[in-house]
Structure 1
Amino acid sequence: MSRRALAVACSAALLTGTLAITPAAASTAAASTAVASGPRTLMAKPCRSASADLAKGFLAKKIDEYGSGTTLRVPRSFTGGYFAEINFVSSFLYDDALTVIALSKDSSSAQVARAKMLGDVMLYVQQHDPIGDGRTRASYQPNPLITADGTPYIGSPAAYTGNQAWVGMALAHLYQRTRDRRYLNGALTAANWIESKAWSGAGIPGYTGGQNGDDQKLTFKASEHNIDIGAFFAMLHRQTGNAVWKTRSDRAFAFVRAMWDPAGGRIWTGTNPDGVTINRNPVPADVQTWAYLATRNSLYSKALDWTIANLSATDRGFTGISFSDTDVSKVWFEGTAHLIAALRLRNGPGDQARIGGYLASMAQAQQSAPNADGEGIVAASSDGLDTGFGDLYYASLHTGATAWYVMAANGINPFVL
């Protein structure tokens, strides 16, 4: 079977619970809008693996676009579509962190080597930042990553606390895989930066947003950032045995609990810059799914149900969830992968059927979404998905969405070691 035929058959199998080899059977199964209630486990896993392997191939190609071997380099985050039109090639370190975590779990030594190289990039930019306080920046430019004077080529200069935590989590995962102490040291550098720059006991206690591009303090407190920090510090507690990281993890998660809306069964975005006033608009998907993945607290299981009830989206025949309640007209594939991972962890009534449907939709998007290449995953099902936070997502191939798909398809929870 060709790569495309295999993916179509796999998409059909996820919908029906069996592998349809013939074109007619694949067409019939793919056209079905219902998920069968019968046995689903026999052939679904190999199909998910085939599609996820293609996605890992995409990540490898993106990493190797600007070099090979141990040469320090970063993959551009978005390829094709709108971003090709504007020649945007920035590499967001959040996306790179996801890629590190996804590939660090791979059985291929070549893929693990790519993950280690990206980890080495994180250590390099941390150690050679112009400010020199252990921070990393939101994005870097890939060509060249390292300028003539040895400093990294910075794209977006902001240093958000959530991004520092994701870099730290990526390094912690690498340390767990390799036992190379450099990665743990880098993770501790990121953690100490967060603690020194972002902790605030004023108002609702929690970690603030970090530093903006002009190195001014961001005083809002985001649920998303505190989820990331809570998970990251819990990893450090496990890896170092130092109880201070457990204390700090607990207080980050306490902020998330303070953002819980028991009446609505959802988590609010965070606070306004005053650190007290709760920001209730918009309500994003990621904090709902991430809170459950990071804490495994059954309380936040309700947030998954809120997400399905309020953020479900259908567009161009694809199904999933959107970014926030601002715009549910298009599917946000990264967020759909978040939900798959969370539902896999919960494994409640009806969750396996939902997982199968979402995975089938993402496998189909891998083949036929706008600007699809048969391997990567696009950020959104159509151009112009409004996040509600002042930016848009486009139907461009995205390393972040692809890495999340790899993790969701393979049962990887990036928030735990």
Structure 2
Amino acid sequence: MAGIVMGLMGKGRRSALGMTLAGAMLTLLPGGAARAEGAGPAAELAARTCATLAARVDEIAGSGPVFLRSYDNAYAPGPTSEPALSIAAFTYDNALAVIALNGCGKRPQALRIGEALLDAVTLDRAGYKGRLRNTYRAGAQKQRPIPPMGWWDAVENRWLEDPYQIGTATGNVAWAGLALVTLGEATGEKRFRDGAAELARWVADKTADPRGPGGFNGGVQGFDNAPQLLTWKSTEHNTDLVALFGRLGKGWEAPAQAARGFLDAAWAAGNGHFPVGTTPDGVTISHATSGLDAQLWPLLLRDAPEAWRGALAYAERAHGVDGGFDFNDDRDGVWVEGTAQAALTYRALGRRADADRLFAGLLEDISPGGFLWATRPAVLTTGLAIGPDSKTDDFLYYRRPHLGATAWATLAALGLNPFTGARVP
């Protein structure tokens, strides 16, 4: 098998949807699902994105497990032209969709994705229990074990897979665990919590690294016959793990403390902000670039120290651009997903006017097919590399309708904190 590193590719042009739900009121639905309330941009954004996410699940025939396609083409709901992305269902995006759909009061749709995640946890094709791939094939999930993403290349006349897509990133595992915990709490079904615990065990067994700032490394990348351990550590990943271990509760105190210890060490080294993580040695804190999510996500954790709020002020200075926030500190354009994360963070910290300002812009980011664009410019740099074999900072975002950006916009508009499961003001 061969791999083609594609990144998150695409481009497009913005066009508004043909419907307006201005002034929509979203309230508590049966079962206690949180909905945005009152007139204004948040309520409209919640109504439109909830409807889009639910429709994407419903368009897949049947009632069984599904994964949603992560990227649309620029003009309407439907696959992109790039084979490596045309049916790619990124685990992170689908985990976000589970949490968002549950918050929308669309539990049947959330469960269909959750069932696919749970099935993928129980048995991997390589015999690894508790491991999730970074990417699966979108659509109904009828094959067992659920196969990871791959595609037939007509030019090369062979099956291709991408080393990132079939790898396992620690943060993606954590987000899938949070999605399963969310469903367990919503339904009372123990099997979802058990699935989340299985994922947490994989992380604790395979990625723990007590050296330097401690915490957990990046996971595994590459093909099954030659996996590469990702020895760097990520502030974002360790934040995800603080949330997952914390939600699992009793018995997970030690790994929760290890992940939190990493965040404390990173904060101490950042002089008022969070560095992105470590270099590949797993010990040295990296100051080579800055990541927006590394600044915002720790602020959403339960019991986040008040001093950490300085990271938001740093993000405003280092990542703020006209109308939103950039992924990194070169400030070359608006990263839509991160701008939605900032809107939720503003709400969590009581800055609703700032959140509403961002919501108004996010409404303009809705593509013709209903997903939000990943970026406002044609291409956005991150300062990061896709994988250990990359020779440049080749992890780029392109202007393409994106499931992950849409789900984050939903969470922000609903005021739903995915790390705690609670609503913010």
TM tier relative to shorter chain: 0.7 to 0.9
Give the CA deviation at 1:291. 0.7
TM-score normalized by the length of structure 2: 0.80
The match for 1:50 is: 44
RMSD between aligned residues: 2.4
- Distance in 1 separating the partners of 2:295 and 2:129: 32
Label 1:354 to 1:374 Cα distance change in 2 as closer, same or farther (>3 A): farther
Once the two structures are superposed, the pairs formed by residues 229-268 of structure 1 within 5 Å of their partners are 229-237=241-249, 242=250, 244-261=251-268, 264-268=271-275
Q: Which amino acid aligns with 2:305?
A: N
Q: Are 1:59 and 2:61 an aligned pair?
A: no
Contact 2:123 2:129 in 1 (8 A): no
Of structures 1 and 2, the one with the larger relative CO (CA 8 A, separation 6+) is 2
More displaced 10-residue stretch of structure 1: 191-200 or 155-164: 155-164
Deviations 1:103-144 (A, max 9, x none): 11233xxx2111111111011111231232210000011256
The match for 2:230 is: 218
- Distance in 1 separating the partners of 2:261 and 2:340: 26
Contact 1:54 1:374 in 2 (8 A): no
> Which residue of 172, 187, 192 maps to 1:163?
172
Q: Which amino acid aligns with 2:137?
A: Q
Q: Are 1:228 and 2:240 an aligned pair?
A: yes
- Distance in 1 separating the partners of 2:200 and 2:270: 34
Contact 1:140 1:154 in 2 (8 A): yes
User: Which consecutive residues of structure 1, in runs of 5 or more, have no partner in the other structure?
Assistant: 12-42, 367-371
- Distance in 2 separating the partners of 1:217 and 1:146: 30
Once the two structures are superposed, the pairs formed by residues 17-96 of structure 1 within 5 Å of their partners are 45=39, 47-65=41-59, 67-81=60-74, 84-87=80-83, 88=85, 89-96=87-94
Contact 2:137 2:149 in 1 (8 A): yes
- Distance in 2 separating the partners of 1:44 and 1:329: 34
Once the two structures are superposed, the pairs formed by residues 327-346 of structure 1 within 5 Å of their partners are 327-346=330-349
Once the two structures are superposed, the pairs formed by residues 273-292 of structure 1 within 5 Å of their partners are 273-292=280-299
The match for 1:358 is: 358
Give the CA deviation at 1:194. 0.5
- Distance in 1 separating the partners of 2:20 and 2:140: 37
TM-score normalized by the length of structure 1: 0.81
Q: Which of the pair is proportionally richer in helix?
A: 1
More displaced 10-residue stretch of structure 1: 128-137 or 400-409: 128-137
Contact 2:103 2:414 in 1 (8 A): no
- Distance in 1 separating the partners of 2:39 and 2:253: 36
The match for 1:302 is: 310
Q: Which amino acid aligns with 1:64?
A: D
More displaced 10-residue stretch of structure 1: 354-363 or 387-396: 387-396
Label 1:10 to 1:312 Cα distance change in 2 as closer, same or farther (>3 A): farther
Contact 1:261 1:268 in 2 (8 A): no
Which one has a bigger Cα radius of gyration?
1
Give the CA deviation at 1:160. 1.0
Deviations 1:144-167 (A, max 9, x none): 6444x6442435111111111101
Contact 2:91 2:135 in 1 (8 A): yes
Q: Which amino acid aligns with 2:180?
A: L
Label 1:139 to 1:3 Cα distance change in 2 as closer, same or farther (>3 A): closer
Task: Indicate the SS of the match to 1:6.
Answer: coil
Task: Indicate the SS of the match to 1:360.
Answer: helix
Task: Indicate the SS of the match to 2:291.
Answer: coil
Q: Are 1:311 and 2:319 an aligned pair?
A: yes
Q: Are 1:270 and 2:280 an aligned pair?
A: no
Contact 2:41 2:360 in 1 (8 A): no
Give the CA deviation at 1:200. 1.2
- Distance in 1 separating the partners of 2:294 and 2:57: 28
Contact 2:346 2:355 in 1 (8 A): yes
Q: Which amino acid aligns with 2:117?
A: M
Q: Are 1:403 and 2:407 an aligned pair?
A: yes
- Distance in 2 separating the partners of 1:3 and 1:328: 28
Give the CA deviation at 1:272. 1.2
